[in-house]
Every structure is written in C-alpha cells, then in structure tokens.
Amino acid sequence: MTTNCFSPEYYDKFNCIASACTDSCCRSGWEIPLDDETFEFYKGFKGLEIEKNVEDGTDGDRIFKLKPNKECVYLDDNGLCRLHIATGGRLGEICDKYPRFFEEFDGFCESGISVSCPEARRIVLAASKSDYDTVCMGGDCSDDELLNYLIDARRTAFDIVFGSKTSEEAAERLLVFGALVQDGIDFGDLIAVDESELNSFTPSGSKPLIELCRFILDETEILYDDWKNSLLSFVEGKNSVADVSEDKKKSYLAYLIYRFFLKAINREDIFSVCELIYMAFALSTELSIGFDKAVGLFAKEIEHDCVNFDMILDWIQDNPIEIVENGLK
C-alpha cells in the first residue's frame, strides 16, 4: 500500500543558494552525520581523504569534523562543498535532505522546509493560506479517529490565523481554540469546535514568557551565544517590538501550526502544543535580536532538538496558561 505524502505548495520552491547563503548550515556547528553508503562512495575519491575527516559524534554517529571556527571541514573558501564539487553533486542523506523535514503519521506522511535555513525561511514567511491547501486536510488521510479530529482542527487553526485581524489576536484565539479542542479530547467528545465559541473565552493573566526563558537558559542545551544572550536580555527586561508585517507574522504562525499541531497525537495534548506555538510566536516578536533571527534560532535550538522540544513541552504542561470565560476574570 502506498502512503500518501503531503507538503505545502511552497515546498518545491526551495533551492539551496549555497555560496550566497548568509547563514549556511555548513557553518552551523552542528554534528552532521554521514551515512554508510555515501561514506563508502566518498572513499573512492582519494583527494577527499574522507576517513581522516570524520569522527564519532556524541550519539555515536559518524559525523564530519569541524574546523576551529565550527565550519564543516569540507566547506571551501568560496562557501561551496568540496564533496559536492568533487563527486558531481553526491551528498550524504542528511546534507541532501536539509532543510526538508518529514513526519510519518498513521496512514500518511507530511514534509516541509524548516525555517532554520534562511532561504527556506524567506519562502515560508511569504506563504499564504492557499499554500497549505495541499497538506492533509481531513477526509480519508487516516483511520485514526483522534488524528482525524486533529487534522480537522488544524484546518480551523489555519482559518483562525488568516481570518484574524492581527497576528497577536490570531495567536490568542489559537490558544483558546487549543483549550476547547483539548476539552473535546479529555471528555471523549470529538466534535468540531466552532470558531464562534472562541469569543466566549480569553487567556487569563500575562503569558509566562520570562519563566519559560529562564527554564530554557537553565535546562536546555544551547548551541548559539546569540540565542542565549537574547534570552538573558529578555529576562533582564530588554525586549523589543518586532517591526514586521502582519502577513509575515501570520505566515510564521501558519508554519508553527503545520510543524507542530499534529505532534499532539503523541501526548493527546493539543493545548500544550498550542501554548508552545503561542510562546514561540511571542518570543519571535519580542526578543531584541529581531524577528527573522529569533525565528531561525528557535528552529535551530528547539525545533531541531527533540530533547529540548520535549523538555519545553513538559514545562508547558506543568505551567499551563489559564483560559477563563469572558466576564469571569
């Protein structure tokens, strides 16, 4: 049986801009694994000295060595990959795939491009609602009742984002929506939440963003000084308001929904996922490093690190934002 695979309309627009890239993944300092098959292939190219230029990573994977400045050892002075040039374009699985991501669900799979890559980010942050018409929107995507419920809810979440007056309003309505969908899951009542119900509820109190930043600083593994310093500044009260168009901010919210919403199936906890989206969005608009950089660093530090991601989701689960009925605050 073939599995249906879905991706947003913009997915095929991505092309690596290589030497023109301002924040190359080859300079990221990441541990980049090299698969066995490509390793064997590279051995046939004497000048590449592949055996000398790999080592064991922290997970035991075979990874490329880095230069002292954290660039991949195969990046040349022109910002091009020597392996790619010498072999006529053959890359290892991970290098070839990045910045594309793939998610398997019961009955279907989805793929996208990650905003950790600046070129992918440029494309994703210009996306509109119709770009997501090509992802799984319900029907016969899965036989799993809860997953289908979440897929239907995700469609409404996209409507909320693009139908709200402002991105801030959209983020808040999304949070309330998550709470109502969660009620359906908790009470075994998987009935679609109508958008009109959102007007009756509101988040109570201020969002615990400083507490979350403290947790990220104290508990997660941090790769980049820019991320650490911007969180520290925020905790010390130095924040800013991003001068970014509403369309771009809504595109980011839509990306966060696409990237994370269906992950709720693992914990049966869509409210925490919506809180995560709400907080990620708030960080992107309030950190003093600016919107684009904050979006990219959140992806590099949290989206790409499943340990950090799970720790943050645990923290959010333990520190829920209260949603109250209007008039009962």
**By the criterion CB under 6 A, which residues form the site for ligand SF4?**
16-18, 21, 24-25, 98-99, 117-119
Dihedral sign from CA coordinates of 73, 77, 79, 81: negative
Nearer to ligand SF4, 21 or 244 (CB): 21
Least Å distance, CB 323 to ligand SF4, is: 38
Least Å distance, CB 121 to ligand SF4, is: 9
Least Å distance, CB 29 to ligand SF4, is: 13
What Cα–Cα distance (Å) separates residue 190 from each residue in 137, 157, 174, 184, 193? 16, 16, 18, 5, 9
Least Å distance, CB 108 to ligand SF4, is: 26
What are 101's strand-pairing partners? 112
Least Å distance, CB 118 to ligand SF4, is: 6
How far apart CA 177 and CA 214 sit, in angstroms, is 27
Q: Is 323 in contact with 198 (CB distance < 8 Å)?
A: no
Nearer to ligand SF4, 21 or 311 (CB): 21
Q: Phi first, then psi: give them for residue 318, nearest 5 degrees.
A: -80, -15
Q: Is 6 in contact with 112 (CB distance < 8 Å)?
A: no
How far apart CA 81 and CA 131 sit, in angstroms, is 32
Nearer to ligand SF4, 119 or 269 (CB): 119
Nearer to ligand SF4, 21 or 86 (CB): 21
Least Å distance, CB 287 to ligand SF4, is: 21
Residues of 128-142 as b/e, b for ≥16 C-beta within 10 angstroms? eeebbeebbeeeebb
Least Å distance, CB 223 to ligand SF4, is: 15
Nearer to ligand SF4, 16 or 276 (CB): 16
Q: Is 121 in contact with 113 (CB distance < 8 Å)?
A: no
Nearer to ligand SF4, 100 or 129 (CB): 100
Q: With 0-12 CB in 10 A as exposed, 13-18 as middle and 19+ as buried, what is 281?
A: buried
Nearer to ligand SF4, 81 or 151 (CB): 81
Q: Of 179, 127, 198, give the one whose Cα is nearest residue 316.
A: 179
